């Protein structure tokens, strides 16, 4: 299997012509065409920098998240 990724211009007649590399043999082939939205219409990709930061801090500065602080004497 060979994957070829390229950008194509679709004309008013809605026809798409593809020039394949010489190592693709003539004959029947299974072809997959994916039509993605133009870059101007694609949804925004969110990154961590896009989300607001909230400093929640610790509820109690003396709370250390140690096992002894989280669980009772029976270990649960």
Per-residue pLDDT of the chain (76 residues; tens, 9 = 90+): 788 887 788 889 988 888 888 888 999 999 888 887 776 777 778 888 888 888 777 677 777 777 777 787 776 6
Question: Using CA atoms, how far apart are residues 29 and 2, in angstroms rounded to an integer?
Answer: 11
CB 46 within 8 A of CB 52: no
pTM (whole model) above 0.85: no
């Amino acid at each position: 299997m060979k994957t070829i990724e390229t950008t194509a211009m679709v004309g008013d007649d809605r026809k798409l012509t593809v020039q394949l590399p010489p190592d693709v043999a003539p004959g029947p082939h299974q072809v997959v065409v994916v039509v993605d939205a133009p870059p101007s219409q694609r949804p925004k990709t969110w990154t961590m920098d896009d989300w607001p930061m909230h400093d929640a801090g610790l509820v109690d500065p003396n709370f250390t998240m140690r096992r002894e602080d989280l669980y009772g004497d029976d270990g649960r």
